[in-house]
A and B are shown apart, each in its own frame.
Chain A
Amino acid sequence: GAVVSQHPSRVICKSGTSVKIECRSLDFQATTMFWYRQFPKKSLMLMATSNEGSKATYEQGVEKDKFLINHASLTLSTLTVTSAHPEDSSFYICSARDVGGAYNEQFFGPGTRLTVL
């Protein structure tokens, strides 16, 4: 199946700093990538849909100035958590849709665990 990488896998930062998370589709092109957030024992919460070459579409309640998304190429999307605070600590997962795939399914990166002190 298609492979999506995510970097870093784990990050610990001080409150007030910014953190950038990269999501790459390794063996396919993804015009659309998705950023999710997951709290312990909860389901995935879609934060935004990242479209190559255009602005991201944010879900209701997600601050676009705090969670900056850039989809600069067909294989790379980045999420920057600006001025991170402890409540931003979470598991962030990206996914990419393989439009050439048999099922149009989303393939997930391994996730990034963010801890803000």
Chain B
Amino acid sequence: GQNIDQPTEMTATEGAIVQINCTYQTSGFNGLFWYQQHAGEAPTFLSYNVLDGLEEKGRFSSFLSRSKGYSYLLLKELQMKDSASYLCAVLDSNYQLIWGAGTKLIIKP
């Protein structure tokens, strides 16, 4: 079956760095997405990786290793507004998005 694993919850301090991991087992791979979702709102697109390596976009970076079925989202200089759920999703061979359960990130002052 298809499976995406990410931690349920993480806590970090304002101004610090946090890494949210995601491992996946899917039928085919056409890219991996990270989305941010604040409580009561719809997800918003953060990043997309299809090749191995690190993609940096401001305070957020995303890394992919296809051979290991592994990705992480790195958030630097954490701000209180970064408190949200972070969803990892893989586009499978049918171009269907397979979603992880999300990681709730709690930022403390």
Residues of A within 8 A of B (CB): 1, 6, 34, 41-44, 46, 49, 91, 93, 103-111, 113
A111 adjacent to B33 (CB under 8 Å): no
- When C-beta atoms are compared, the residue in chain A nearest to B45 turns out to be A105
Given contacts A110-B41, A110-B42, contact A104 B91 (CB under 8 A): yes
Residue among A46, A103, A109 making CB contact with B48, cutoff 8 Å: A103
Which of the residues B42, B95, B102 comes within 8 Å of A93, measured between beta carbons? B42
| A93-B96 Cα distance, complex, nearest whole Å | 16
Pick 15 A–B contacts, CB within 8 A, sort by A. A6-B42, A34-B97, A43-B100, A44-B87, A44-B99, A46-B96, A91-B40, A93-B43, A103-B31, A103-B45, A104-B95, A105-B33, A105-B48, A106-B45, A111-B40
Task: Name the residue on A nearest B101 (C-beta).
Answer: A43
- Cβ-defined contact, A44 with B43, below 8 A: yes
- Binary contact track B50-65/A, C-beta < 8 Å → 1, others 0: 0000000000000000
In the complex, which of the residues B35, B42, B95, B102 has the most CB atoms of chain A within 10 Å of its own CB atom? B42
Q: Could you tell me if A104 and B42 are in contact, using CB atoms closer than 8 angstroms?
A: no
Q: Nearest 10 CB-CB pairs, A to B? A: A108-B42, A103-B48, A43-B101, A111-B42, A43-B99, A44-B99, A43-B102, A93-B42, A108-B43, A110-B42
Interfacial chain A residues near B101, Cβ < 8 Å: 42-43
Chain B neighbourhood of A46, CB < 8 A: 96-97, 99
Residue count of chain B within 8 Å CB distance of chain A: 21
Q: How far is the CA of A42 from the CA of B85 in the complex (A)?
A: 10
CA distance A111 to B39 in the complex (A): 12
State in angstroms the CA–CA spacing of A49 and B94 once bound together. Answer: 12
Chain A contacts for B30, CB-based, 8 A: 104
Closest residue to A106 on the B side, CB-wise? Answer: B97
- For the complex, is B93 an interface residue (Cβ under 8 Å from A)? no
A residues near B48, Cβ cutoff 8 Å: 103, 105
5 extra interface residue pairs, beta carbon distance < 8 Å, beyond A34-B97, A108-B44: A41-B104, A43-B100, A43-B101, A103-B45, A106-B45
Could you say which of A1, A6, A93, A104 has the most chain B C-beta atoms within 10 Å of its C-beta?
A104
A108 vs B35: C-alpha distance when bound (angstroms): 10
